[in-house]
Every structure is written in C-alpha cells, then in structure tokens.
Amino acid sequence: MTTTENKALVEFSDIASSDVTVIDDSSRYINRELSWLEFNKRVLEEASDTRYPLLERVKFLAIFGSNLDEFFMIRVSGLQAQRAAGVADLVADGLTPTEALRLINLRVEKLMQEARECWLDLQTTLRREKIEVCHYDELTDADKTFLHSYFEQEIFPILTPLAVDPGHPFPHISNLSINLAVVVRDPVVGERFARMKVPGSLQRLIEIPQSDPGVSRFAWIEDVLERNMNALFPSLETVACYPFRVTRDADIEIQEDEAEDLLRTIEKAIGERHFGFVTRLERTPEMPERIHRLLVEHLEVDSRNVVNADGEMGLSSLMQLTKIDRPDLKFPPFVPTTPPLLSTGEDIFSLIARNDVLMHHPYESFTPVINFIETAARDSQVRAIKQTLYRLGPNSPIPPALMAARDADTQVAVLVELKARFDEENNIEWARKLEESGVHVVYGLIGLKTHSKVFLVVRREPQGIRRYLHLGTGNYNAVTARIYTDFSFLTSDPDLGADATDLFNYLTGYSRQTRFRKMLVAPINLRQRIAQMILRETEHARAGRPARLIFKMNALVDAEMIDLLYAASQSGVKIDLIVRGISCLRPGIKGLSENIQLISIVGRFLEHARAYYFENGGDPQLYLGSADLMPRNLDRRVEVVFPVENPEIRNHIVNDILEVQLADNVQARRLLPDGSYERIHPEPRKKRIDSQAIFMQGESAISTRRRSAK
C-alpha cells in the first residue's frame, strides 16, 4: 500500500506546530473486524504449533471455534443489521457494512479451511497417542453395540422429533445448537421432513469404554442419532439426515432509561438472546437444494449468510477432549509464587500502609487479593467496604466475604455490572444473594458499563480514618486469574483513596464528579488526559527531549488516539505497542508511522493487562488500568486508569515486563502495514526470548530478564 500517494494533509488542531500532519485517507486505518479475524488466525496458528503439548493444541482449536461463534453473534450481527437497514455510512477505515461483510466472508471461508486442515492433522496425531475421535463407520462392532445401548438409555428418552408440515409449524432453532434435517418416506403420503435437535444437555463427544485403559475413543453424538433414527420414526424409512447449525444475534439491547427495574429487564433480555435473528447458517455440502431452501425460508436467513461446513461444525465442542486424564499431553502444572512482601505474615494493613504492592498474575498468585478482601471483611476496625464487580466465577469467594462483612455491621456497597456480556445470569444471581444479605447493591449508571476494577476499604485507626485500595487491570475472578495476565496493585495512597471515594459516590449517588486527583476515569477525563500526555510526548520529541511511548492493551481502535500516535511518530517519538487483539493502526508506513512498532503475543496465558508508559522528557510516568484505547472504553464505560508512582515498582514493570515482552522472539508477532502479522524469529546467534516462559521463572529471574531484553 502506497499511503503517500494522493494524500491530503490535515493539521491537528490540538498541536500548535503545523509541521505535524497525518494523511487524510481512510486507508490509514485497518478495518476492526478484519483485524479481529487476524487475531483469531493467531489463535488458530497456536493449534498448529508442534512445540505445544497435543491437548493444548486441541484447546487452542476449540478456543478458535468459540471465538468465531461469538464474532458472528456480536460483531457480524451488528454489520448485518446495518446492511439490512440500508446503512451506507463509511466508518474510519472507509468500508460500508456491505463491503466489510463481503471481506469478512472471504476471510472466514479461508480460516475455516485452515481450521479443518488443522483438525485433520490433530486427529492423526491424537490417534498416535491412542485418542480417537471416530465417525460411525470407523467403529468396531463392540463400539456400535455400546452406542446403541447408550442411545436407548440416555439419548432416546429426551429426544423430540418435530415434523414440519401444514399441521406442524417450523420449530424454533436455538442459538449454536446442532440439528439434523431428517428426510423420511411415508408409504402412504411420500417424503416428509422433520427436525431433530441434538440434546445440548449431553456431551457432544460420547466416550466409548475400551478394554485397553490406555485408549480413549469417542463418537460424535449426531452420528449416533443418525444411525438410530429409525427408532424415532417407526414404520417409516429414514432417507437421509443433514446436520446444520445456526448462529444468532446475541447482542442485547436494553433501553435503560425506560427500565424501572434493570435487573428484571436484563433477565428478560437474556431470554430473548435465544431468539435473535440468524447471522449464520452452517450446512453440509451434501444437503440437497430443496432442504436448503426450506431452511433459508423458515429461518429467514439471508442467502449470503449460509456457510458450507465441509467438516465438523462447532469446533468449540473439542474442548471436551482437554478433560482427558493425560498430563503428558498438557502443559506441566504451574504454581504461581507469592510476592516476598506478602509472605512475611505481617498484618496486611500495616504492610500496605508502608508499601505499595504490585502483583503480576498469573505468575504471582491471586490468593493475596482474596485474602485482602476476606481480611477486610473480618476486621473489626473496618467501617466501610466498596467494590466494583464485572465478571465473577460461579463459586467466587468474594461475595460470601462481602456478605460476612455486612453481618459484622460493616457498611458494604457493591456495584455489580449486570451488562457484562455472557456473564449476565451469573452476576444477577450474585446480585440477588448480596441484596438478600443486606449489602447495598447498585447496577451502575444508565448507558454506561462499569468495567473498572476497584476495591476500597475504609478503616478506623489510631491516627484517624485511613483508606486502603486494590486496583487492577483484570476481573475479581480467581479462576481467570490463573490464565489471564493482569496487574494487581495494593496501596494506601491518600489521593488515590480520596479519588476512589469520589468514584463510588459518582457510581452510587447523583454526583457529577468532574475532577480527580490522580485517577483517570472514563468517561470523565480519561480520553482528555491520555490525549494530552501523547501530545506532551510529541512536544518533548520536537524539543529534543527524551520521548517514548510504550502502550500495552487488548485492542487499539479509537481513531482519535490512532491519529495522535501517528502525529507523535511523525515528530520522532519512538512508540512501542503491545496489542493482543484488534489494532486499527498501521505501523511502519514512511511519513506516517515509521517510528511505531506493534507486536501481539499469543501464548499459554491470555495477555489481558493494560499499561501506558510516557517517557515525559526524562520524568517518566506509568499508568495501569482497565481500559483499552477503544471508543467504548473511553466514552461508554466507567474505567479507571491509575498512576504507579513508586519508582521501584514502575521500573520493574517497564524494564522487567514491558521491555521483555518487546524483546520476545518466540511468541510475538509483528503487525505489518497491510494488516497481516508475521512471527518474530531470533536473529542468528541471538538468544530465544519467550516472555511468558521467563515470567514463569519468578522474581529470581529479574536480572536474566534485563539482560535478555537488551
């Protein structure tokens, strides 16, 4: 792409000097959806990486499938709705919804072919390890005898064949369900059609007992149904069965300003998620045209949204294989460490009063965070506890601790975000339990999701009231804390504590808070302050002072922020970006972004932390928080980004974590100007640097990290 051709130059109104310009051309942005597909391609590549244990590769393939399902439920559904409404407005990348969908379909078709090839390769390797996923014709007579018995005892009693004729309307097809379009022949009336849903309550892969304990053999449940279909249609001939699967729009829309009870409104909306319009119909190539037309007509699906699935549908079902007890085919167990400061047995409040404490999960345990919350709940000197909760596991120890604190007559207020996508039901359940125990529960601000991670403790001490804080980049979820990389920060900084108090007043009351001492809070001041600090870095570079930006995040989408980074690059600011998923920024373009490098790391752990480093003319600043540089995070969510002012902790994050990730030449990929990614390989005679492997070595490897990153 030659971005210097046919360019119109636009001066940034926020930059005083006129010599900083950007190309006023939509090609300077990568399409968001296509960038996401590139991310999922990187996940798929992990499934093909022979350096990984075999069942871990299967897990990556299942994650790829699950990711793609969600993509069609949320992102593609939005574009399809725009296309149906005739929306032709161009977004920042210059694509209309129709154009974007056409490119998405082409890319997805290629990815699915790669996924099918990956699964075929994995099956061959699994068989060598005596793990077999078989189609019916590959099974032994003994296997078939077992499956027939299993069908009669476990499957047949819960099946409901649904005829489709003038007396039987076409049934509802639920989201992501596997179905069989069954053609039967009646000796009296001729050919008939019925739909059979594969029971979602049963495992899709049926394990077949084997005489050899070292062998694991599985059959697809839809194959078993097909071979036993005559039991459901006695006296009729089963002509054929054709599997199909639908994906539906699952993006809940809630008119919050009209909802008297947000909890009940969201409960109703969750139920309606199963009835969203069809965004994708997967069918086998063997399905005859007459059956295809029947499905398209009754499902009211656009023919452009029909996909030929030449292979297994619903690859996410392969996650079941990872439950096989074969530790030799999985990652070795990893036990996180505990920071030395938190291993002394000292009272946690005394410790935090003297020291800020950083934890890097999952390399360092999330247990101290749980212990801090539980200790605060039990402490007789604690007067109030306030917390934001976005995603909680079903067995989380945190709500019981908060309920116990309320029983001890501590003032407890919790903001439970009911609109956390696909966690709504779990959060509703916890919200009800907290309310029943007497905890003050609020559901956030109208029109905004509360995505910040804040836990505030107000404690009476001899010197007076003191506030203690946990601030994080990840959710209060002990399960995901073992597989997501995040930062936790414990502090008693008075200004941050006061800011947290103002934040909760903003969330629970009618406060119109507009200023904070140290926190950057969306949608109040986060966008403005990040923009100001990027502009400040630009001015430092133009004045010859030290200027550098290191940003780590999950996604980089916001056009204003991207333009500011382009302008900083043109001024000579060295910019290093670590972006796990979507990036709409094009790095490395002469005259636009030649000083920007962007890498993505996909590995054993999901990179989830956000960090924003500013060299600031030699007076460096570092911020951590919950926000990505996306319009939704900057404008439509309550996010908290906070400064790390302790020089030792700041230098540790920059030198021992961010710089090591930037030097990664094993798991990292580099974003190219055309939107594709290439693996970064070690230069000849250079050391291999796998950042996640280095972090797993623990704090004793700090000096090694520093040497490796240089």
Active site residues: 451
Instruction: Work out the angle at residue 246's Cα, subtended by the Cα atoms of residues 244 and 250, and round it to the nearest 5 degrees.
Output: 165
Q: How many CB atoms lie within 10 A of CB 58?
A: 29
Other Cβ atoms closer than 10 A to 395: 8
- Rg of the chain taking only CA atoms, in angstroms: 28
Structure tokens at 490: 């414990």
Q: Give the separation between CA 339 and CA 358, rounded to whole angstroms.
A: 8
Phi, psi of 444 (to 5 degrees): 95, -170
d(CA 528, CA 14): 11
- Residue 417 to residues 73, 112, 378, Cα–Cα distance (Å): 21, 35, 25
**DSSP state at residue 567:** H
Grouping H, G, I as helix, E, B as strand and the rest as coil, residue 550 is strand
Tokens representing 6 are 């046919």
How far from the centroid of its chain's Cα atoms is residue 138's Cα? Answer: 37
Q: Which two tokens stand for residue 116?
A: 């099918």
Cis (ω within 30 of 0) for the bond into 400?
Answer: no
Cα–Cα distance for residue pair 666/368, rounded to 1 Å: 31
Find out whether 692 and 667 touch, Cβ atoms under 8 Å: yes
| Token pair 């959710």 in the structure block, residue | 475
32 to 149, 185, 598: CA distances (angstroms): 50, 49, 16
Helix, strand, coil: what percent of the chain each, to 5?
40, 25, 35
CA 72 to chain centre: 14
Structure tokens at 596: 């920007």
Left, alpha or beta for 608 (phi > 0: left; psi -120 to 50: alpha)? alpha
**Whole-number Å distance between alpha carbons of 466 and 458:** 6
Q: Work out the number of other CB atoms within 10 angstroms of the CB of residue 533.
A: 18
3-state secondary structure 401-437: HHHHHHHCCCEEEEEECCCCCCCHHHHHHHHHHHHHC
State how beta strands 449-450 and 637-643 pair: parallel
- Say how many CA atoms lie within 13 Å of 579 toward its Cβ: 28
Neighbours of 466 (CB within 10 A): 18
Q: Across-strand partners of 180?
A: 196, 243
